[in-house]
Amino acid sequence: MSGLGPERYPYRGVRVDYTPPAQIERTASQKHELTALSVDKREAAKRALKLWKALVKYVMTRDGRRCRICGGRQKLDPHHVIWKSAGGEDSKENVCAACRWCHDAIHLHQIDVSGNAEKKLRIQRRRPA
C-alpha cells in the first residue's frame, strides 16, 4: 500500500488524491487592496474582542461575581439573555453572569431566562416531562 491512494479508500469511487486549483494571478494594486482589507478585518476583530472583554468585566462586577440563577461563585460564564443566534446583541442589558452548570441547563432548555439583565431577570425552571 502506498499512502492514501484510491486503493486504501475504495468507497464508491471517492478519490483521496487532491490537486489544488491553479493560482490566480493578481496585479500589484489588487494584492495591496487585499492586504489592506485583511488588516482592516484584523483591526476590527481586535476592537470587537477588546469591547467584549470590557463588557464581560463590567457584567461580572455588576453581578457581584455570582451566578444570577443560583448565586454560585465558581466557573462563571457570560450568558446572552436573548441568544446571539436569535438576534441578541452584546450589551449590558442582554448579558448576565451564569455558572457553568446553570449556563448548560439554560442551553438544554431546563431553565428559561428572560428580561433585562440590568434591571430584573425572570428565571423559570422547567419541570421534566
59 falls within a domain? yes
Report whether 118 contacts 96 (CB < 8 A). no
Number of domain units in the chain: 1
Give pLDDT, residue 1: 46
Is 122's pLDDT higher than 60?
Answer: yes
Q: Where residue 55 sits, what CATH number does that domain have?
A: 1.10.30
42 falls within a domain? yes
Average pLDDT over residues 88-112: 91
Distance (Å) of CA 75 to CA 50, 78, 97, 116: 21, 10, 10, 22
- H or E segment and range at residue 123: strand 121-125
Average pLDDT over residues 14-29: 55
CB atoms inside a 10 Å sphere around CB 102: 25
13 falls within a domain? no
How far apart are alpha carbons 38 and 51 in whole angstroms? 20
Is 38's pLDDT higher than 60?
Answer: yes
Range of the domain at 43: 28-125
pLDDT digits (tens, 9 = 90+) for 52-95: 999 999 999 999 999 999 999 999 999 999 988 888 888 889 99
Give pLDDT, residue 78: 93
- Confidence label for 31 from pLDDT (cuts 50, 70 and 90): low
- H or E segment and range at residue 55: helix 28-62
11 falls within a domain? no
Give pLDDT, residue 5: 47
How far apart are alpha carbons 5 and 39 in whole angstroms? 39
